Amino acid sequence: MQLLGIVAFVLALLTSVTLHEAGHFLTARHYGMKATQFFAGFGPTVFSRQRGETEYGLKAIPLGGYVKIIGMTPVEEVAPGDEERVFYKHKPWPKFVVLVAGSTMHFVIAVVLVFISVAAIGVPDPNAPVLTASSACLFTSITAAQIDDPRSNLDATPTNGVCPAGTVAGRAKTAGFLAGDRVLSIDGTQVKTYVAFAKYIRAHAGVDLHVTVKRASGTAVLTVTPLTTSRPSLDDKTKQVSVGAIGIGQDGRIIRDVSILGAVAETPRQIGTMVTGTYNTLVHKLGTIGGIYGKDRARDGFIGIYGAGRISGEVFAAPVPFKYTALGFLLLVASLNLFVGIFNLLPLLPLDGGHIAVIWFEALRDRIKRARGYVGDTVRVDYNKLMPLTLAVVAVFVGFTVWVLGADIVNPIRLNQ
């Protein structure tokens, strides 16, 4: 199943890249520009076919693609007869549309995938007060270091019916809590989120609590007495505090059903969350790039194509119902498309955003000059002068990619961290 997830991710990536290039291609053709090549993938050519003035084909490495539009810059040689169909001779607006069309396709893909996943499957409900299976043994003390260390075994099991040292019989298990129980109320107080449930338990050590839960057989009222334990403070995990605990956790795989109309409203919220995540990664997580080889690598930090593909494999291999797998995969591909679309618009050559910046710089400079009486041809930006900067950006991108790739291989982000 893990291999299936990786293959599905590669196919999704190839489809996204092909649609990106299709955005450039179709808008260029619409404005009369000449596109001589349209290839999916890069590297050696697997096959190609000439249709009209365009060569269509597939390259061996399915991780990229390109469209060759003649005259992207004034320094290119143009064949006789094509002088009026070159990219750089068109007005700013058509050039802008052609360049932004690639990222637009990524945005469309993200919106469509999110809507389909929400309407057909539902939305993740990370706050649902739905419980996992209760622990047979409950630790009397747990530190933040133990929680953060993936090597820590915090699921103690009894031997011959006796819990190991440092643990006692789990209070939730003794009280009869079952996996999948949804908490409705505690002592008559309605519970809407797992956090509210957990905080109530922590605040009532040694007190008999009456918990109403909903399960397949109906509702049940369970009585449980939280054990006084030592746990990290919720406000400062470096501090240990005495709180109540019963030995049960939250089921984080809950999906909430959404109607078609609800999906229309929910899709922008999901996209907004992804945009916020992308912004935080590009702005606030940039400082974590130096620590991606350490044990504290941020799960919401930078990750490369290889790492994303491996996570896709983990999604497919996880022992959960297919709807969880499908939802996780679709949202992963949607978020990746959104990230690529935004990243591609950064005003740096050779990205599309760099070319867009040049276009509007030329247009603004031309308008100012004509306002001062200039009547000649538009003076184009000399791309030869920008070449050192472009090569520097490429070098940084390549180095960054190799750096992240190395971390994805030797210190990968795992779903079960």
What CATH number is attached to the domain comprising 188?
A: 2.30.42.10
The domain total for the chain is: 1
Q: What are the backbone angles phi and psi of residue 240, rounded to the nearest 5°?
A: -95, 140
pLDDT of amino acid 335: 93
Which residue shows structure tokens 């990370």? 126
Residues 170 and 133: their CA atoms lie apart, in Å, by 11
Quote the tokens at residue 367: 């308008």
Does residue 162 lie in a domain region?
A: yes
DSSP 73: S
pLDDT of amino acid 28: 95
User: Has residue 75 got a pLDDT over 80?
Assistant: no
Highest-confidence segment of 60-64, 228-232, 292-296: 228-232
β-bridge partners, 49: 56
Give the Cβ contact number of residue 290 at 10 Å: 9
Residues 207 and 197: their CA atoms lie apart, in Å, by 15
More confident residue, 61 or 340: 340
Exposed / middle / buried, residue 193 (Cβ in 10 Å: 0-12, 13-18, 19+): middle
Long-range contacts at 235-244 (CB < 8 A, ≥ 24 apart): 237/144, 237/147, 238/144, 240/141, 240/143, 242/205, 243/202, 243/203, 243/205, 244/201, 244/202, 244/203, 244/204, 244/205, 244/206, 244/207
pLDDT of amino acid 78: 84
User: Has residue 298 got a pLDDT over 70?
Assistant: yes
Which residue shows structure tokens 């100012």? 368
pLDDT of amino acid 294: 81
Helix axes 2-30, 322-343, angle to 10 degrees: 40
Establish whether 266 is a catalytic residue.
Answer: no
The H or E element that residue 189 is part of is strand 189-190
pLDDT in tens, 136-156: 999 999 988 877 776 667 778
pLDDT of amino acid 345: 94
List for the chain the helix, strand, coil content (%; round to 5): 45, 20, 35
pLDDT of amino acid 415: 65
Does residue 224 lie in a domain region?
A: yes
pLDDT in tens, 353-396: 999 999 999 989 988 888 888 887 777 888 888 899 999 999 99
pLDDT in tens, 324-363: 889 989 999 999 999 999 999 999 999 999 999 999 999 8
User: Has residue 84 got a pLDDT over 90?
Assistant: no
The H or E element that residue 335 is part of is helix 322-343
Quote the tokens at residue 290: 């130096």
User: Has residue 5 got a pLDDT over 90?
Assistant: no
Amino acid at site 197? F
Among candidate residues 335, 336, 322, the one with its CA nearest the CA of residue 120: 322
Quote the tokens at residue 398: 């390549």
Q: Can you point out the beta strands (E) in 182-226?
A: 182-186, 189-190, 209-215, 218-224
More confident residue, 206 or 303: 206
Q: Coil, helix or strand for 44?
A: strand
pLDDT of amino acid 1: 62
**pLDDT above 90 covers what percent of the chain?**
55
Contact 138, 227 (CB under 8 A): yes
Quote the tokens at residue 145: 């270091």
User: Has residue 416 got a pLDDT over 70?
Assistant: no
More confident residue, 416 or 20: 20
Does residue 241 lie in a domain region?
A: yes
**pLDDT above 70 covers what percent of the chain?**
98
Which residue shows structure tokens 């591909």? 333
Does residue 149 lie in a domain region?
A: yes
Does residue 351 lie in a domain region?
A: no
Residues 397 and 387: their CA atoms lie apart, in Å, by 15
pLDDT of amino acid 131: 95
- Calculate mean pLDDT across residues 98-113: 97
Domain of 227? 137-251
Quote the tokens at residue 134: 């209760």
Residues 310 and 371: their CA atoms lie apart, in Å, by 56
- Calculate mean pLDDT across residues 116-120: 94
Residues 29 and 70: their CA atoms lie apart, in Å, by 11
User: Has residue 301 got a pLDDT over 90?
Assistant: no
pLDDT of amino acid 284: 73
β-bridge partners, 183: 213
Residues 17 and 333: their CA atoms lie apart, in Å, by 12
pLDDT of amino acid 132: 92
For the ranges 297-306, 308-317, 404-413, the lowest mean pLDDT is seen at 297-306
Residues 137 and 34: their CA atoms lie apart, in Å, by 70
Q: Which of 21, 53, 314, 362 is catalytic?
A: 21
User: Has residue 417 got a pLDDT over 60?
Assistant: no
User: Has residue 49 got a pLDDT over 80?
Assistant: yes
Residues 92 and 94: their CA atoms lie apart, in Å, by 6
Return mean pLDDT, the chain: 89
